[in-house]
Amino acid sequence: MYPIRILNLEQTEEVLEMKTVIKDIEEVYAMKSRGAGKLFPLVFHEFEPGVADMDIKSGLLEDAGIFGLKLVSWFSGNAEKGMPLLTGTVMVFDITTGKPLGLLSAEHLTGMRTGAAGAIGAKHLARKGSENLLMVGAGHQATYQVAASLIALDNIRKVRVYDPLLSDNTVSFAARIKSVLMGSFLSKYDPGSEDYETVAKKFDVAFEAVSDIKSAVENSDVIITATPAHKPIVSNEWVREGTHFSCIGADMSGKQEIDERIFSRARVFVDDIVQAVNVGECEIPVKKGMIAKDSIIGEIGDLICGSKEGRLSERDITIFDSTGIALQDLMVANRALKSAEEKNIGSVVEL
Amino acid sequence: MYPIRILNLEQTEEVLEMKTVIKDIEEVYAMKSRGAGKLFPLVFHEFEPGVADMDIKSGLLEDAGIFGLKLVSWFSGNAEKGMPLLTGTVMVFDITTGKPLGLLSAEHLTGMRTGAAGAIGAKHLARKGSENLLMVGAGHQATYQVAASLIALDNIRKVRVYDPLLSDNTVSFAARIKSVLMGSFLSKYDPGSEDYETVAKKFDVAFEAVSDIKSAVENSDVIITATPAHKPIVSNEWVREGTHFSCIGADMSGKQEIDERIFSRARVFVDDIVQAVNVGECEIPVKKGMIAKDSIIGEIGDLICGSKEGRLSERDITIFDSTGIALQDLMVANRALKSAEEKNIGSVVEL
């Protein structure tokens, strides 16, 4: 028998902080580019189409010494039971012995790693000195995106928030985001520490709910989209030169957040080329011939490792299509386990 | 958050008993035949060929209300660390909500469900009144096979044990098997209960270690093979009419325990047709043309459900090729969780 650590939602919230997660996710992308991170084939099953499904994403991170899986299920019938529709669980295993190391609730760590992904796209592709961030989508994921982007970028002064569906929600999101950032993200650092001071300063920006998406796009340097949209929300005509997009929402065939014509004007990076073309924001543009698969510059890890060039000029439009890969979950889960061990958090059970 | 139950090796040993596992595995095969049990695609990864690998087997059991997975890893380097080479973990999820129900050490339940499989093949295909059982292989799995077969069959009087590699081991196996059956299997029933009396009677047979495999085959009604062999141990010439085989060992391409020519004389059933032809005892006979894939009579579940006929005469040779499917693990894991809940065994953690 051997001990495994189990972390529930609250415990993962307690042990993870965004600065480290951003570094970890950059490292994941780099490992994948170096061949030290590998994805295994996806298992997907629809119990009833449009009603309930589940997938198992798995892979290995050689340099982190782990392999494992995330199982995510979606049961629409949970709504009437007052339960979350999505349930996610991550299992981490030791790559030198095959022994399980831990079992974690995936909800918060998925939020963290996805926020980090959008921010890393912006960090490596947006114009230096970018001041205006547009957050498209004011749902659960938007908080993570805003937190991570403010931490990863140095010069943001204003965050506009737009949501195609929920205008009231957008206003309330903009009104409460600062206190959420303080309570859920800044609070992870010791007051007075350098991290605390840096992050506090970065969170000190203006937030505005907007209803005029055209004007917001025209006035933004960095645009992050995190919606469940199946039709473009951002039109090609509104997009000025120099804009960066981190497209987060598309993770299933048929989803699309931005006008496919933008792709023919842009330098495009993805997290995983196969997944991006199959189910990501790249799917529709590739199918419609707006961009050839071969014209995608590369995976973001290639950029981080220096084997591909990102932005070439201030006038480039850049896109990072993040579909989300299991390696992100495994890395952040492993970080949570290590941090929990140090802090003696979670349940340790002999398996 | 929601509670999940965690059962380690010892706890799964405590809560499972073979009579119920046999019934459960019969029900699993029947569910699969009815379309109420489905296998998802296998994920397999070799970290280093011949040194370390892992697989994820998953599926659903509609009528049991569960889905889930088993992850099994094999790390040869564990030997020098004094750790088991194989590590298995099962996760069970609720098919109505997607919530995890439990996490279990897979070792004992894999032994139990595999033993039940071999016995079910014999129960449904061997001649009624079969008295002589030959166990080929005296390893870890042999105990489970013997226990399950004695429980599932009504007239066994003698169990011969042969092992192609380990002749000393065979003698010691035959010497201690009765006390192992008493200690690990009979002890699950209350002394004085009907189950106890029935099982005690069934375990009261003669055990003999044999070195002459030819003579043993010639004198056996039921032959169970559970070895890691890559070459036939049982020759076609030795096999008399009426013999039943439950072939358990072959679960990877290239493995083979019995002469492929036996297949051209036999009525053949499998647990899963695709898996049996790809990695089971059927692989070589199909590849060598001894039997066409279409000549395999069916899956064992079809026989249990009555949609296919098993043995047609006392002279038929019958074969059940059991490769092992995730649905067996899920069913037994679910049984262990329910039994553990009743008995308040295991750790319950909020996930």
Give residue-wise pLDDT tens across range A185-226.
999 999 999 999 999 999 999 999 999 999 999 999 999 999
The confidence score (pLDDT) of residue A166 equals: 76
**Which chain B residue has the Cα nearest residue A100?**
B89
Under an 8 Å CB criterion, which residues of A touch B? 1, 6, 8-10, 38, 40-41, 43, 45, 47, 52, 54, 56, 58, 60, 67, 69, 71, 73-75, 77-78, 81, 83, 86-87, 89, 91, 93, 95-100, 103, 105, 347, 349-351
**A165: pLDDT confidence band, cut at 50, 70 and 90?**
confident
Under an 8 Å CB criterion, which residues of B touch A? 1, 6, 8-10, 38, 40-41, 43, 45, 47, 52, 54, 56, 58, 60, 67, 69, 71, 73-75, 77-78, 81, 83, 86-87, 89, 91, 93, 95-100, 103, 105, 347, 349-351
**A168: pLDDT confidence band, cut at 50, 70 and 90?**
confident
* pLDDT, chain A, mean: 97
SS3 content of chain A, % helix, strand, coil (to 5): 45, 25, 30
* Identity at A286, one-letter amino acid code: V
**Which chain A residue has the Cα nearest residue B41?**
A43
pTM for this prediction: 0.95
Q: Give the phi and the psi of residue A298 in degrees, each rounded to 5.
A: 170, -170
Q: Chain B closest CA to A90's CA: distance in Å? A: 11
The confidence score (pLDDT) of residue A219 equals: 97
Distance CA A109, CA A346 (A): 15
Distance CA B72, CA A42 (A): 17
What is chain B's alpha carbon radius of gyration, rounded to the nearest angstrom?
19
For residues A262-283, average pLDDT: 97
Q: How many CB atoms sit inside 10 A of residue B343's CB?
A: 11
The confidence score (pLDDT) of residue A1 equals: 83
Catalytic-role residue among A70, A123, A202, A255? A70
* Identity at B234, one-letter amino acid code: V
Nearest to B8 among A1, A43, A47 (CB): A1
The confidence score (pLDDT) of residue A280 equals: 97
Write out pLDDT tens, residues B291-325: 999 999 999 999 999 999 999 999 999 999 999 99
Q: Determine contact, residues B94/B5, Cβ cutoff 8 Å.
A: no
The confidence score (pLDDT) of residue B167 equals: 78
The confidence score (pLDDT) of residue B240 equals: 98
Q: Chain A closest CA to B234's CA: distance in Å? A: 34
Write out pLDDT tens, residues A81-101: 999 999 999 999 999 999 999
Residues in Cβ contact with B212 at an 8 Å cutoff, skipping those fewer than 6 apart: none
Q: Strands, DSSP E only, in chain A?
A: 3-7, 37-39, 43-48, 52-61, 66-75, 86-94, 100-105, 132-136, 158-162, 206-209, 222-225, 244-247, 266-270, 298-299, 317-321, 347-350
Where is B88: in which H helix or E strand? strand B86-94
Helix (H, G, I), strand (E, B) or coil at A224: strand
Q: Determine contact, residues B222/B126, Cβ cutoff 8 Å.
A: yes
Q: How many CB atoms sit inside 10 A of residue B184's CB?
A: 16
Q: Determine contact, residues A221/A243, Cβ cutoff 8 Å.
A: yes
Q: Give the phi and the psi of residue A319 in degrees, each rounded to 5.
A: -135, 135
Write out pLDDT tens, residues A318-343: 999 999 999 999 999 999 999 999 99
Task: Indicate if A70 belongs to the active site.
Answer: yes
For residues B127-133, average pLDDT: 97
The confidence score (pLDDT) of residue B168 equals: 83
**B133: pLDDT confidence band, cut at 50, 70 and 90?**
very high
pLDDT for B166 beyond 80: no
* pLDDT, chain B, mean: 97
Residues of A in contact with B95 (CB under 8 A): 47
The confidence score (pLDDT) of residue A169 equals: 86
Helix (H, G, I), strand (E, B) or coil at B317: strand
Write out pLDDT tens, residues B238-276: 999 999 999 999 988 999 999 999 999 999 999 999 999
Write out pLDDT tens, residues B181-212: 999 999 999 999 999 999 999 999 999 999 99
**Which residue matches tokens 């997607």?**
B98
pLDDT for B222 beyond 80: yes
Catalytic-role residue among B32, B57, B70, B123? B70
* Token pair in block for residue B104: 């279990």
Closest CA to A26 of A158, A94, A119, A104: A119
pLDDT for B340 beyond 80: yes
**Which chain B residue has the Cα nearest residue A42?**
B43
